[in-house]
Amino acid sequence: MKNLKRFFSPILLIGFLFSWISYGISQPAEKYPYQNPTVLIEDRVQDLLNRLTLEEKLELLGGTGFATKPIDRLGIPELRMADGPLGVRWGPSTAFPSGIAIASSWDTAVAKKVGQCIARELKGKDRHVILGPCVNIARIPQGGRNFESFGEDPYLCSRMAVNYIQGVQQQKVVATIKHYAANNQEYERDFVDVQVSERALNEIYFPSFKAAVMEANVLAVMAAYNKVNGAYCSENQYLLDHMLKTEWGFSGLVMSDWGAVHSVIPTAVSGLDLEMPSGKYLKLSNLLEARKDGRVREEQINEKIRRILRVMFTIGLFDNYPAGDTRVINSAEHRQVAREAAKAGIVLLENQDRILPFDLKEIKSIAVIGPNAAIARSGGGGSSKVTPIDPVSPLEGIKNKVGKQIQIFYAPGIRLDGDEKAIESHFLFTDKSMKQNGLQAEYYDNKKLEGEPTFKRIDSNIDFQWHDEAPFDDFPSDDFSVRWSGVIKPPKSGKYVFTSASDDGTRLYINNRLLIDDWNDHAVEARSATITLEKGKIYPLTFEYYEHGGDAIVLLGWQLPGENIEQEAIHIAHKADRVLFFAGTSANYETEGRDRENLLLPNGQDQLIKKLAAINPNLVVVLITGSPVLVEEWIDEVKGVLQGWFGGVEMGNALADVIFGDYNPSGKLPITFPRRWEDCSAYATYKKESGVTRYDDDILVGYRHFDHYKISPRFAFGYGLSYTEFSYGDVEISSPQFSPGQKIKIKVPLKNTGSYAGSEVVQLYVSEVNASVLRPPKELKKFQKIFLNPGESRIVEFQLDMNDLAYYDPNQKNWNVNPGEFEILIGSSSQESDGQKVKVNFVLK
């Protein structure tokens, strides 16, 4: 026994020790306060902040592309982002209608539903932050990003923004309102100095941001590229510290736009918290020395970190943040929301002889024509461009609707730049021996085609949409270049139009001649050039491309000699009962990075519309654009006009619902359509000085400008027809006197006097009579969208308070109302509100 005890004792001891160690390991480690979800967020933030080293704090101030840096030691995760605001730009997703289409609905519930769907899809992509909404005012009608935002009026824009943000953040997803501030043009946007009055900022350009902060509790704000009154937005203390954080009490995260930071110390001591996409300036090597010599105080750094952590804690990122459901991406439910939003935003601009809706019982054939008929223009270009899943074009939507009931003819009539198909492989050869189809491709890991290529291969043709991905594994997704070389053999003699469409630069050489020279940074754009080639002859071809940042997209296409797609369109217009011409622009024209050159429909669409109208009087034009176009050349020669916008993935079905009467259009314009560019408020100063744009129009932007100068627009702000008619009764007001702290109620009867059920947007404007300071003739202050069945009536009620009468007084640095008389105007558009008005006196007591 003695020997056995000696044998077992060490074993028992080892077993006891192993059990004790295992017990200790199996027990949860003692939680720090920041790890405890029952602790108040501010206490968790402070606890975690206290545990960070200075070096770790400085690391958190710069991003890693589309995320913040994790701190593994303390379990701080990445805060992962994705572009928006029209859907999730992180692989294929549901493309929702453009912001201007959502604003055209004048329906805040639509904005909220779209925000909810986008947030759900974002979580399905394992992301936490959507980089939207965009709320920049459409000051310039040809602005490249007008389509992303909510139009020209600060009140309408703010209502849409608040509801969009609420929809997003209800899903524990961070919304990012952008671009703060006065980012109203793409021309010279990276450095242009916006010279704008304090009053205009507060009355026109700030309200959407202010409402997002003070009403929707938005969690993130993105600083814009441009300067405002001399200082870049990312280091602008008036914008970030004084207004955003002090006046409005914003407690969330302020990030830069991608590459919008220009300094170390001015940025570090201002209200910017996070530099994106990386810490080029706000990085350890720069800030550690600045902290040591006192140029940057640690409390300034701490405040930035607090805000980053506060956002993480607010959405529950430390508390087993639930994995998203990938099944919601492009789900039937989300596509239905996209379809409803697209329908709600369609605006009926003209309807002579009640040509719309089309009656299938009376029509045997329809000619569907136009460059936007067979292509689903779901959105504009740039960082908001979503890769849609199975988008429905107008032509497809019409076919889905009518089936075999009527005959559908189709011809494009015109092509837009960038729509050309890629040159087919059988016309391309790697060398003069013509033994191998395709082109020799050399891929460089820099954007200058320098050194030895990293990869070589043969590409059958040039049509690539890598987006944010790299062409190969172990190859950069940004800052690379490619050279394709070989020969091309034309199938016929004549003039060929070569087109390059790319995000960033291209150069095309044919027969050793530089044909296209577009070697600069930009969002997706198309460039074309014409050259005469002979059938069967071999021509050397070299095509070069570089990618700097953002999307990686490149195409080389051509148009063969002798194509006459216009004649085909004229032919089918002759024999059809009705003609639908789908006109407009595309993501190659309306895009981040540049403004349109003019307001004309590109590539001769105006002329073709006039030809078709002369052939077939039953012509309806459907505009697929992201902002206004001029229609003066043909507006009096067509019977119907619909504004369809960039309508998202279900745009084709939505348009068909309206065209054939399954949905009564109720959209209203969120932006004025001018008769000419010269009539617009920005005309006098836009592009007049290099590096500077002066907002001399001040508070008179959009319809305010047209009203003040008594300029007749083609289609007014708030305008939109219906298949039914609405009548307004007499306006009633609860009190003719209005004093501080008082609210007054306004009532107006509304009746559907037509034969279709439909919705009307009742708009309330306020006008100061005999104002002692400059005031716009009228300003939108309230609106409601009301659905009524035929013959149904309803009393529409509004409530106003003193703030609805106020203007910003730069002398007092505050909002002010002068005693006097005001008119309250109610109607169906900014120009049709004068008929229903009452007067009220504001009295100081």
In this structure, how many other beta carbons lie within 10 angstroms of the beta carbon of residue 77? 15
Residues labelled catalytic: 257
Under DSSP, is residue 703 helix (H, G, I), strand (E, B) or coil? helix
Contact 143, 197 (CB under 8 A): no
Interstrand relation of 253-256 and 231-232 (parallel, antiparallel or unpaired): unpaired
> Which residues lie closer than 8 Å to 14 by C-beta, 6 or more apart?
none
* φ/ψ bin of 791: left (φ > 0), alpha (ψ from -120 to 50), beta (otherwise): left
Contact 145, 190 (CB under 8 A): no
**Burial level of 821, CB count in 10 A (0-12/13-18/19+)?**
middle
DSSP calls for 204-236: IISHHHHHHHHTT--SEEEE-SSEETTEEGGG-
Residue 525's φ and ψ, nearest 5 degrees, are: -140, 155
- Assess contact for 779 and 834: CB atoms under 8 A: no
**CA distance between the termini of the chain:** 106
Residue 370 CA to residue 622 CA, distance in Å, equals 9
Contact call for residues 537 and 489 (beta carbons, < 8 A): yes
Least Cα distance to 199 among 800, 805, 816 occurs for: 816
As given in the structure block, the two tokens for residue 332 are: 């039937």
Q: How far apart are CA 70 and CA 746, in angstroms?
A: 54
**Triad 532, 537, 538: Cα angle to 5°:** 105
- H or E element, residue 795: strand 793-800
Sign of the four-CA dihedral 230, 232, 238, 244: positive
Closest to 149 in 3D by CA, of 178, 114, 115, 113: 178
In the block, which residue shows the tokens 């070389």? 485
Dihedral in degrees, nearest 10, Cα atoms 359, 360, 365, 368: 70
**340: exposed, middle or buried (C-beta count within 10 Å: 0-12, 13-18, 19+)?**
buried
Tokens 């084709």 map to which residue?
652
Residues in the chain: 845
Identify the residue whose tokens are 């932050």. 129
Tell me whether strands 174-180 and 347-351 are parallel, antiparallel or unpaired. unpaired
